[in-house]
Amino acid sequence: MFKYRDEATAKKILDKIRDMDIDYTFMHVCGTHQDTIVRFGLEELLKDVGVEIRQGPGCPVCVTTSSEIADAITLARNGVTVCAFGDMMRVPTTIGTLNDTKSEGCDVRIVYSIEDAVRMAKEQTKPLVFVAVGFETTAPSTCVPLQKDVPDNFSIYSCHRICPPVLEAIFEMGETKVQGLIDPGHVAVITGTKMFEPFVTKYKMPQVVAGFEPLDILMSVYMLCKQLNEGRCEVENEYTRLVRPEGNPKAMRLMEETFDPVDRTWRGFPVIKKSALALKKKYEDHDATKIHEDILAKTPFVEPEAKGCRCGEVLRGIIRSEECPMFGKVCKPTSPSGPCMVSAEGNCNIAYRLGSKRL
């Protein structure tokens, strides 16, 4: 399970948690953290010492709404070249998927970066839209080409979200009772640790920014348990090898210069104020929502979820993937009913691929 040199360290950490004689529930909001937790069997090890960990809305593809996918499909069906990351292609809606749209003969392409999409736009004259997805980790990369000379036929449909508002929504909704939060290390590399401090003040929520190795997760859990047992409430940084309190000022400045925070619905959530990123007015010549407003007005209504799909509850940390009646039956990676089974960072996909319960 662990590398040989890590086994003794893991045992020491777990023994120290066991000695605290606790019963805590923590949440993380990161698909990579979930992959590590399930892949290395940490869930069971931590339960044995009194800690339950739930996954929140940590998968950017998963929180993108069906209506946003439907917008991309509508653009493609009306003669626009649509470029998206691979996971986006298979997310189902009640009007199909982007893959289905491609099979109809529409120009839908998988790209690995926004630079791929810019290059493709330069090679053609018809309009091309890049569907931008991700949290603070990937949003700066969307900004970079706009600082240069991008072709007139290139535009961006921004599905970018930011973390603090959805965390606040979780705490305000009160559906998931947790005593501590494992903060996403890759987001904190960009934002720094200060972004999470308001949750200490407002919600008295102990937090630890964690890296992605098994020992990172175990150590972050130990640090949270120690905070609680000592009556402390603060933001600690376990991922000191990459995360600094100030984060990456250049990346943050790029985001501030390129985007405005706007209200938007997340999958499984109501409208969350100032939780998404829209291009500023000075970039409206490359904003797909402005350039193709007439096409987007044709987007048909789509149901938020497939009938019976409980992705929304999984994303809010209310149920485990295995508790959804569709999991492993009609909903599998080969035939997904929702995005949590599509994306490699989705809780259901991870549970199916790496977990012990495949029905």
Residue 237, φ and ψ in degrees, nearest 5: -115, 105
The DSSP string of 233-249 is --EEES-TTT--TT--H
Q: 97-108 burial, b if ≥16 CB within 10 A, otherwise e? A: bbbbbbeeebbb
Residue with tokens 């491609």: 102
Q: What digits encode the pLDDT tens for the residues 61-75?
A: 999 999 999 999 999
Q: 195-207 burial, b if ≥16 CB within 10 A, otherwise e? A: bbeebbeebebbb
Instruction: Check pLDDT > 50 for residue 357.
Output: no
Residue 358 — very low, low, confident or very high, per pLDDT cuts 50/70/90?
Answer: very low
Q: What digits encode the pLDDT tens for the residues 128-185?
A: 999 999 999 999 999 999 998 899 999 999 999 999 999 999 999 989 889 999 999 9
| Amino acid 93: pLDDT | 96
| Cα Rg, the chain, nearest whole Å | 21
| Amino acid 284: pLDDT | 97
Residue 355 — very low, low, confident or very high, per pLDDT cuts 50/70/90?
Answer: confident
Tell me the mean pLDDT in the region 241-268.
97
Q: What digits encode the pLDDT tens for the residues 194-238?
A: 999 999 999 999 999 999 999 999 999 999 999 999 999 999 999
The residue among 5 and 91 whose pLDDT is bigger is 91
| Amino acid 306: pLDDT | 87
Q: What digits encode the pLDDT tens for the residues 79-91?
A: 999 999 999 999 9
Domains of the chain, CATH where assigned? 61-162+252-296 (3.40.50.11740)
Distance CA 292, CA 340 (A): 29
Instruction: Check pLDDT > 70 for residue 353.
Output: yes
Instruction: Check pLDDT > 70 for residue 335.
Output: yes
Of 178, 199, 181, 134, the closest CA to residue 318 belongs to: 178
CA trace torsion 119, 121, 125, 131 (10° rounding): 170
Q: What digits encode the pLDDT tens for the residues 36-56?
A: 999 999 999 999 999 999 999
Instruction: Check pLDDT > 80 for residue 356.
Output: no
Distance CA 39, CA 33 (A): 10
